[in-house]
């Protein structure tokens, strides 16, 4: 009986493993490429999704019952007192549209003054963007 030297036996076994890998590799490529393309395409589609946010400005009419600049702005409306939060910028104007200066705001905005408040709702808060006062 003829024995294969150990080095040649390793080489023959190694060749068989390589041949097996070569046979599996094309099948794996055929399977993996479509899967990867599907994953990449779905990620690209998901990245293109847009969200649109619309904001609606609402008005409230009443009389100022509590006013602390930058802190509290409570207006007594027909349904009862309503608390407003200050937005990043609040514009104070007259009914005719003239913007009030900082000095006018300090002297004219007081408790008891009738106002129209323009606000947006963020969460449960009414955030003031504009306050109209009588001329």
CB atoms near residue 60 (< 10 Å): 17
pLDDT at residue number 20: 52
pLDDT at residue number 124: 86
What percent of the chain is helix, strand and coil (3-state, nearest 5)? 35, 40, 25
User: What span, in angstroms and rounded, lies between the C-alpha atoms of 41 and 79?
Assistant: 53
User: What span, in angstroms and rounded, lies between the C-alpha atoms of 130 and 84?
Assistant: 11
pLDDT digits (tens, 9 = 90+) for 58-114: 899 999 999 888 777 899 999 999 999 988 889 999 999 999 999 999 899 999 999
Q: Would you say residue 21 has pLDDT above 90?
A: no
pLDDT at residue number 91: 92
Give the rounded percent of residues in the chain with a pLDDT score beyond 90. Answer: 32
Radius of gyration of the chain (CA): 37
Q: Among the residues of 2-57, which ranges form H helices?
A: 6-47
The mean pLDDT value of the chain amounts to 80
Q: pTM here?
A: 0.58
The angle subtended at Cα 88 by Cα 82 and Cα 92, nearest 5°, is 65
User: What span, in angstroms and rounded, lies between the C-alpha atoms of 95 and 29?
Assistant: 72
pLDDT at residue number 119: 92
User: What span, in angstroms and rounded, lies between the C-alpha atoms of 40 and 21?
Assistant: 27
Higher pLDDT, 75 or 7: 75
Considering the domain 58-133 in this protein, what is its CATH number? 2.40.50.320
- Choose the weakest-confidence range: 10-24, 47-61, 85-99: 10-24
Structural domain boundaries of the chain? 1-50, 58-133
């Amino acid at each position: 009986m003829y024995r294969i030297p150990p080095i040649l036996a390793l080489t023959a076994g190694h060749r068989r493993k390589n041949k097996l890998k070569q046979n599996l590799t094309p099948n794996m490529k055929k399977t993996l490429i479509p899967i990867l393309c599907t994953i990449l395409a779905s990620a690209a589609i998901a990245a293109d999704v847009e969200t649109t946010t619309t904001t609606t400005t609402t008005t409230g009419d009443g009389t100022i019952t509590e006013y602390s600049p930058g802190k509290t702005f409570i207006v007594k409306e027909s349904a009862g007192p309503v608390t407003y939060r200050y937005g990043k910028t609040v514009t104070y104007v007259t009914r005719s549209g003239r913007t009030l200066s900082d000095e006018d705001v300090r002297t004219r905005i007081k408790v008891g003054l009738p106002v129209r408040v323009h606000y947006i709702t963020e969460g449960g808060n009414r955030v003031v963007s504009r306050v109209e006062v009588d001329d």
